[in-house]
Structure 1
Amino acid sequence: MKTKSVTLPDATITYVDEGEGNAIILLHGFCGSSGYWEKIIPEISVSNRVIALDLPGHGESSIDKENFSIEDYADILKGFLDQLNIQKVTMFGHSLGGYITLAFAEKYSHYLNGFSLVHSTAYPDSEEAKKGREANADKVKNEGVKSLIDGLVPKLFSPENVEHDYVKTAKEIGYLTSAQGTISALTAMKNRDDRNHVLETTTLPVLLIAGEQDQIIPAEKTFSVSRDNIKQGIINNSGHMSMVENHQDLISEMKEYLSTI
C-alpha cells in the first residue's frame, strides 16, 4: 500500500488511503504504525474509504513539538482531516489511538458518524501506571527505544501467540518510533483525563472491543459504560492486538458495526 503525507504545524503525518465511500479513520496504539492495520484495510476498504495514519513520532510521521497532551493529538487529527477536506468520519482507535479518539469525540464530535475503542479504555492511568510511564520514559532516554520495545511488545499478545511471526513484525514497527515520539506519547498517556463522561453522554453509535486474553487493558476496563448506543465485543484467542492475532473476528465486528451507521 502506497503512503502519502500531509505537513501540519506540529507534525508531518504519513498515511495510507484506500478505497472509496464513507471515511473510516484507523488509529494505532503506542509505538505502532498504520502497519498494525495491514490485515484490516483490504476488507474494510472494499466498501469504504479507509485512512490509516502514523501518529506523530510513530512510523514515518514526524513530531515537531514536545510535551504533547492527548488533546494535542486530537487537534492534529482535526487539522489532518481539514487538510484532506474530510468532514465526517467513523473512527477506530486502538489503545493510545482510543485515548485520542475519546478526546476527539469530546472536542470535535460534529466530525464523527460514530467511534470505536479497540483494546482501549476511558479510564485514566492509575498512580502505579503513571510511575510505569515515567520509568519507561527514563528507559528510552538512557537505553533507547529498542530496549523498551523488546520488553513491551511480547506483553501485547496472548501468551499463546508470543512465538508467532507477527510479534517480530510488531517489534520492527516499534523500532521505527522516534525517542521524542515515544516520550511524548508516554507523557500524554500518563496525564490523560478520565473520559467515561464521553461514553456516558455521547449520542453517537459506539463500538467497544476487548481481547479475551488482553494483559494490558482487561475487558472490564474497556466496558466501563453500558448504554443502548454502545455495542460490546470480545475477540477470542486475542490479547491486545486482535488486528493481527484474530483479524477476521475483528473485521466481522467492525463490519457489523459499520452496517448500522
Structure 2
Amino acid sequence: MNKIKVKTGEEIAYREREGSGDKLVLIHGNMTSSKHWDVLMDSLPENYHLLAPDMRGFGKSSYNNRFDSLEELAQDLINLLDQKNFKNYNLIGWSTGGGVAMEIAAKRPTEVNKLILLESVSTRGYPILKKDEGGQPIPGELLETKEEIASDPVQVLPVLNAQKNNDKETMRQIWNSLIYTDNQPEEERYEKYLDDMMTQRNLIDVDYALAHFNISDQHNGLQSGNNKAEKITAPTLILQGDQDKVVPMSMAEAIKEDIGNNAEIQILENCGHSPLIDDIDQLVDAITKFL
C-alpha cells in the first residue's frame, strides 16, 4: 500500500495494480476498506489498471477531521486522483462507496467514463429508523442527529461496541446474519477481513452522512435533495443482488429513476450484499461486459 497527503488534510492509503488497459477506481463500503476488494482485484483481467483507496477513517487512511457528508469523502478521493494524475477512469462503488462514487461522477462528469454501483446506497440516502421498546423500527420516524444515531440499539451500537472492544466474534455474527448469509470467505481471508473491520474509526460520521445523503430532486424525510443526480452523465450500471438483506431493490430503482436513461439495473442472481463472495465469476462477467 502507498499513501498520499491530500489537500483536505488527510493521508489517503491506496492499493494499486498497474495495467495498460481500462482504469478502474474501486471505492469500498461501510465497515470495510480496500482490503475487501482483494478477490475482485485478483479476478479482473490483468490489463486493467486498478486503484483502490481506503476512505478517510477506514483501513490505513488517516482520520484527522470528522465529516458530515459523503461529498467530503468524495473530495478526498478526487484530490488523490488529481495528485496521481489519474484521468479518464471508470468507477465502481460498493454500498456506501456507491454514494461516494456518485458524488465523484457528478462533480467530474468529463473524467468518469463509466459508473458501476454495486449494492449501492440510494440517491436518496440510507435512513435509520427510530426503534420502539422492543427494538422494532417505527415507520416514518427517522434518526437525525449524530447523538441519536450513536444510541441506536439495533443497527449502530452493536457494530460500534464490537469495533471499540475488538470483538470479532460479534462482528462475524453480524456479517453472517446480514451479508455472508449463504456463502462465507475462506477462514483465513475472513479473519483478515474481521481484523480490517476493527480499523474503522468513523462509524457515526458515516451513518449520519448516509442518512442525510440526498442527490435526488425529492425530500428524503430529513432534507430536500440537491438534484446532483442529473449531473451524472456517465453510462451507469446498477448491480443489485436478488438476495440483498442490506440494500432493498427499491433503492436500486430509485437510483435508476433519479439518474435517468443513462442508467440500467442488472440483477445478480443468488447474490446478497457481497457478490464478491457469493459469485465472483458472475460479478466479473457483469463488470467486464459493461466496461
Instruction: Give the TM-score band, short-chain normalised.
Output: 0.7 to 0.9
**Cα–Cα, structure 1 residues 30 and 127, in superposed 2: closer, same or farther, change >3 Å?**
closer
Q: Contact 2:128–2:149 (CA<8 Å) still a contact in 1?
A: no
1:207 and 2:241 correspond: no
The TM-score with structure 1 as length reference comes to 0.85
Q: CA deviation at 1:252?
A: 0.4
Where do residues 15-164 of structure 1 align in structure 2 (5 Å cutoff)?
A: 15-20=14-19, 21-120=21-120, 121-126=122-127, 128=129, 131=143, 133-134=149-150, 135=152, 144=164, 146=166, 149-150=171-172, 152-161=174-183
**Cα–Cα, structure 1 residues 36 and 140, in superposed 2: closer, same or farther, change >3 Å?**
closer
The structure whose Rg is larger is 2
Residue type at the aligned position of 2:205: S
Q: Contact 1:28–1:94 (CA<8 Å) still a contact in 2?
A: yes
Alignment RMSD (CA, Å): 2.7
Give the Cα separation in 2 of the matches to 1:145 and 1:192: 29
Q: Contact 2:179–2:246 (CA<8 Å) still a contact in 1?
A: no
1:6 and 2:28 correspond: no
Q: CA deviation at 1:32?
A: 0.5
Segment of structure 1 superposing worse, 214-223 or 158-167: 158-167
Where do residues 154-233 of structure 1 align in structure 2 (5 Å cutoff)?
A: 154-161=176-183, 165=187, 167-177=190-200, 179=201, 181-195=202-216, 197-199=227-229, 202-224=232-254, 225=256, 227-233=260-266
Give the Cα separation in 1 of the matches to 2:95 and 2:3: 23
**Cα–Cα, structure 1 residues 66 and 201, in superposed 2: closer, same or farther, change >3 Å?**
closer
SS state at 1:248 partner:
helix
Q: Contact 2:106–2:231 (CA<8 Å) still a contact in 1?
A: no
Q: Contact 2:23–2:88 (CA<8 Å) still a contact in 1?
A: yes
Q: CA deviation at 1:188?
A: 1.7
Quick one: percent identity of the two aligned structures? 21
Write out per-residue CA displacement over residues 148-179 of structure 1, whole angstroms, 9 at most, x where no aligned residue: 745542244253225963655432321122x3
Q: Contact 1:153–1:170 (CA<8 Å) still a contact in 2?
A: no
Q: CA deviation at 1:27?
A: 0.6
Give the Cα separation in 2 of the matches to 1:158 and 1:137: 19
Q: Contact 2:98–2:118 (CA<8 Å) still a contact in 1?
A: yes
SS state at 2:50 partner:
strand
Segment of structure 1 superposing worse, 40-49 or 162-171: 162-171
**Cα–Cα, structure 1 residues 16 and 109, in superposed 2: closer, same or farther, change >3 Å?**
same
- Alignment length, in residue pairs? 254
Residue type at the aligned position of 1:7: K
Query: Which structure has the highest helix share of the two?
Result: 1
Q: Contact 1:145–1:182 (CA<8 Å) still a contact in 2?
A: no
Gaps of 5+ in 1: none
Q: Contact 2:247–2:273 (CA<8 Å) still a contact in 1?
A: yes
